[in-house]
Structures are given as C-alpha cells and as structure tokens.
C-alpha cells in the first residue's frame, strides 16, 4: 500500500491527526496494534482545554461533546483546611470541558467511515523503516500476512511505549526525565460527583483528586507509593482514604459505589527532543509525558497534532518544507510550558518522601499565596485552561 502519511497509533493523537489530514485532502492510513475495544477500555483523561474542543468543532465532530460535555468555570485546591477556588472563567474568560478521553476517542472512531479515514486495528510487530530519508515505510503483520505501507511521512502517535521514538537514533535525540516516587490509584464509579467542580487536595496523608465524567459518573484518585498493588486496595479502602484526604465537607457529599475500573498509573515528566527526525514526526505521549496533575497530557497531544497537521498540509499543498522543519520547535515551545505547569502543580499538591519541614512549609506558603493573590490565581487559571496555540 502507498499513502502520503502513515500514522502509527490510533489513540486520540493518531485519530485526531488522521481526521485533520483527511479534512485537508491529505491521504493517510492509521495502524494500531490493539483492537478498537481495547483502545476504548483504557480510562484516562477527563478534562479538555478549549483548543481540544475547537479541533473537534473544526472537524464537525463535536455533536456529542457539545451535548454531553460538562463546561466547568473553575476548579478547587484543598489544603486540608479550606477550598481555594480558582475562578478560571472570571480570570481568563475561558472554560474547560469535562468529557472523557474514551468518549472523544469513540467520536473519532465512529466518524472513520464517513470521513474516509482508514484505520487498521490488530496490527502486530509494527516497525518503522528508513525514517532518515524521504521514502520511509512501515511494516506490520495482520492475519498472518506481512504487510508494508510506503509513504512520504510517518507520524509517530503510538504513546510512550510505541516503536516510533525508538526509530530516532540515540545520537540525534535527547531525553529529559523525572520519575516521581508515587502513582495515582484511580477509581471510576457510577455515583454522582461529590462536588460540581474538581477538587485537588494536598492532605498530610497524601494527594487526592475528585473528578467526574458526567452528573452520574465519578472519577477519583489518591496517590500511593509505587510499591502498592491494586489487589491491596478493595473499593472500601479507596473510599475511606478519599473521605479523609478530601476533607469532611467533600466526604459528606461523597457517594460510594462499586468500582467500574481501578488502576494505578505511575507519574513521570518526560520530553524527547527533537520531535522530528527526517520524515518522522512524533506527536503526543510518543514524545512527552506529563504527570496527570493539571490534566495536560491529552491536550498536549491535541496541540502537537494541530501543528503537525498544519506542517504536513503545507508540505502537500505548497511543497513547504520549512513548515516540516519548524514543527519540532513550534510544538516543543508549548510542550515545555505544559511540562513546567504539570511539574509545579505536582510539586505543590503531593507529599514527597524526601520532603522535610522546610519543603512542607513552602507548600503551605504557596497555597496561602494562591488563596490570597489574584495574580497567582490568574497564572494557575491561564495554564489550566491551556496556553494559546
Ligand atoms: P495514547 O493514548 O497512549 O495512544 C497511543 C496508541 O498507540 C494506543 O492506542 C496504543 O495501543 C498504540 N500503539 C502502541 N504501540 C503501538 C505499536 N507498536 N504499533 C501501533 N500502535 C501502537 N490528559 C489530559 O489531558 N487530561 C487528563 O485529565 C488526563 N488524565 C490522565 C489520567 C491518567 C490516569 C492517565 C494515565 C493519563 C491521563 N492523561 C490526561 C494523559 C492522556 O491520557 C494521554 O496524554 C493521552 O492518552 C495521549 O494520547 P496519545 O494518542 O498520544 O497516546
Ligand atoms: C482527571 C485527570 C486528571 O489528571 C486531572 O488533572 C483532572 C481530571 C480525570 O481523569 O478526570
């Protein structure tokens, strides 16, 4: 098979890029190693920035997002004693929208046929070849047969563990990384949320987040040491811990219910640079990871894809090689700022095992500063809604 752009990975980044390219008349095919059901079974992000919503709008795929997404005007930080409300709408004039990554992915998947986007699922042994030159190709196995896709560009949208980033020679790429000494234990349940807006809590027992997917479905997290096993966390233990960490007011409003899903996700900050090598463009988690505090990961994947789609469209429309050459710097400028925000909010809201009394005093002082300073709240708010693209 021959196409203009071969996209590796059909998570949100790969599907969004595929749709954006198809909308501009660029030929592409998406190759995914898992089944559609598996991809939809991964419970992950829940908060969309305006730029992500706008991309769905531009594609005309925002029907369900408009109808079912929950626009939020603000969020809360809890410091053990009080709720500090960040009035994002008043401070920035913008909102975020609570809409699950699963639902966004479902909408992009459902529009495949209508938009002529070919996605090959259950592809085994996906491998990238000759990304240095201008005739790269991708090989994979499907139904026992070896297949090959020749293309002009490969878009690596295959998440943190995919093969795309590894196709860049070590001498060319540089890794920046910080691994955190805890993970987020998440629980999803069909119970109404305890609060109409999200609460990020820093309690002496650790971090907690009260989030939601709808008026009837809640998503909560607590941080746990990496040594913890999910088997040691029956539902009641998670609810008990949430009730303590979120504080008495939220606990009084919290409805418990059986877990639809439970998992532990490690926290990591990671950037691979550059995002382009030869004919390979990396987008989303394939190139960078943020800790989930602040809800930036999916939205960063969306901004990468926006820049990549512009660069690729410029190339095929006007033979504009500069746009391709500029992709990495353009995307990384936004990536680094989101990395900074996610790292600093993680630092502020979690108890680090190495922290002493001084570090704890710094957290208390910063939370107090945020509670009393409009400038500090504005800075948080403009990062939370997402920096401009
Ligand atoms: P992925 O979603 O990882 O998709 C990559 C795809 O590539 C997958 O379908 C995978 O199967 C496929 N793939 C892998 N290897 C291969 C291969 N060899 N060949 C072909 N295909 C392959 N972000 C937010 O913005 N807001 C949030 O609220 C938020 N909360 C989060 C909560 C948790 C618990 C976690 C874990 C993450 C959260 N994130 C959040 C981050 C967000 O989920 C990711 O940043 C997002 O999924 C990135 O999308 P992606 O398409 O780049 O990668
Ligand atoms: C969710 C995840 C986040 O990382 C976050 O900051 C807010 C909400 C969620 O899964 O709902």
List all residues 6 or more positions away from 199 whose beta carbon is below 8 Å from its beta carbon.
75, 76, 77, 78, 83, 208, 209, 210, 246, 250
What distance in Å separates the CA atoms of residue 206 and residue 181, rounded to the nearest whole number? 12
Tokens of 347: 């630092």
| Per-residue model confidence (pLDDT) at position 308 | 98
Mean pLDDT of all residues in 157-178:
97
Structure-token match 């209508």, residue found: 114
- For the segment 269-308, what is each residue's pLDDT rounded down to a tens digit? 999 999 999 999 999 999 999 999 999 999 999 999 999 9
- The mean per-residue pLDDT over the stretch 11-33 comes to 98
- pLDDT for 80 equals 81
- Residue 101 alpha carbon to ligand 1 centre in Å: 9
Question: What ranges do the domains of the chain cover?
Answer: 5-46+98-177+269-347
Tens of pLDDT along 152-164? 999 999 999 999 9
Q: Rounded to whole angstroms, how far apart are CA atoms 32 and 116? A: 17
- 216-229: per-residue pLDDT in tens? 999 999 999 999 99
CB distance 284 to ligand 2 below 6 Å: no
User: What local confidence, expressed as pLDDT, does residue 330 receive?
Assistant: 97
Which SS3 state, helix, strand or coil, does residue 228 take?
coil
Atom of ligand 1 nearest to the CA of 12: 51
Rg (CA), the chain: 21
Instruction: Report the C-alpha gap between 100 and 213 in whole angstroms.
Output: 6
pLDDT at 241 over 90: yes
User: Which one of the listed residues 19, 203, 288, 296 is annotated catalytic?
Assistant: 296
**Which class would CATH give 5-46+98-177+269-347?**
alpha beta
Task: With a cut of 90, say whether residue 60 has pLDDT above it.
Answer: yes
Q: What is the pLDDT of residues 317-327, one digit of tens each?
A: 999 999 999 99
- Distance CA(108)–CA(92), nearest Å, equals 29
Q: If you write DSSP's letter for every residue of 1-54 in order, what string do you get?
A: -B-SEEEE--SHHHHHHHHHHHHTT--EEEE-SS-HHHHHH-----EE-HHHHH
Confidence of residue 88 (pLDDT cuts 50, 70, 90): very high
Mutation test residue for ligand 2: of 198, 213, 261, 345, the one with most atoms within 8 Å of CB: 198
Mean pLDDT of 77-95: 95
Pocket lining: 211 vs ligand 2, CB cutoff 6 Å:
yes
Res 251 pLDDT > 90: yes
Pairing of strands 96-98, 70-72: antiparallel
Q: Could you tell me if the CB of 9 is within 6 A of ligand 1?
A: yes
134 vs 27, 156, 165, 198, 374, CA distance in Å?
Answer: 16, 16, 18, 47, 51
363-380 mean pLDDT = 98
- Take atom 11 of ligand 2 and give the residue whose Cα is closest: 46
Residue 43 has a pLDDT of: 84
Q: Which atom of ligand 2 is nearest to the CA of 295?
A: 6
Q: What is the mean pLDDT of residues 126-149?
A: 97
Strand, helix or coil at 255? coil
- The confidence score (pLDDT) of residue 150 equals 98
Residues ≥6 apart with Cβ < 8 Å to 167: 128, 131, 156, 277, 280
What integer pLDDT is reported at residue 44 of this predicted model? 87
């Amino acid at each position: 098979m021959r196409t203009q752009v071969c996209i590796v990975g059909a998570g949100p980044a790969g599907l969004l890029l595929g749709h954006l390219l198809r909308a501009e008349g660029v030929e592409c095919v998406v190759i995914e190693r898992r089944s559609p059901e598996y991809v939809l079974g991964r419970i992950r992000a829940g908060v969309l920035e305006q730029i992500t919503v706008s991309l769905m709008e531009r594609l005309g795929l925002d029907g369900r997002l408009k109808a079912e997404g929950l626009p939020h005007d603000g969020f809360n930080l809890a410091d053990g004693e009080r709720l500090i409300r960040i009035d994002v709408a008043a401070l920035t004039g913008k909102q975020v929208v609570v809409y699950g990554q699963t639902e966004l992915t479902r909408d992009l998947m459902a529009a495949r046929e209508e938009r002529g986007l070919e996605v090959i699922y259950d592809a085994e042994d996906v491998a990238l070849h000759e990304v240095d030159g201008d005739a790269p190709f991708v090989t994979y196995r499907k139904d026992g047969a070896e297949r090959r896709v020749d293309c002009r560009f490969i878009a690596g949208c295959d998440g943190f563990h995919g093969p795309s980033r590894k196709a860049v020679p070590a001498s060319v790429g540089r890794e920046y990384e910080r691994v955190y000494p805890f993970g987020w234990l998440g629980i999803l349940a069909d119970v109404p949320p305890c609060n109409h807006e999200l609460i990020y809590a820093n309690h002496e027992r650790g971090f907690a987040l009260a989030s939601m997917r709808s008026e009837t479905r809640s998503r909560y997290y607590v941080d746990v040491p990496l040594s913890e096993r999910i088997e040691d966390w029956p539902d009641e233990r998670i609810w008990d811990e949430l009730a303590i960490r979120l504080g008495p007011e939220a606990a009084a409003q919290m409805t418990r219910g059986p877990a639809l899903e439970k998992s532990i996700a490690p926290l990591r900050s990671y950037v691979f640079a550059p995002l382009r090598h030869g004919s390979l463009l990396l987008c989303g988690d394939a190139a960078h990871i943020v800790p989930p505090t602040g809800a930036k990961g999916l939205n960063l994947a969306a901004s990468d894809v926006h820049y990549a789609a512009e660069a690729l469209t410029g190339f095929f429309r006007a033979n504009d090689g500069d746009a391709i050459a500029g992709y990495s710097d353009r995307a990384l400028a936004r990536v680094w700022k989101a990395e900074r925000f996610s790292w600093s909010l993680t630092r502020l809201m979690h108890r680090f095992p190495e922290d002493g009394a001084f570090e704890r005093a710094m957290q208390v002082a910063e939370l107090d500063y945020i509670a009393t300073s409009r400038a500090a709240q504005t800075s948080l708010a403009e990062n939370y809604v997402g920096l401009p693209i």
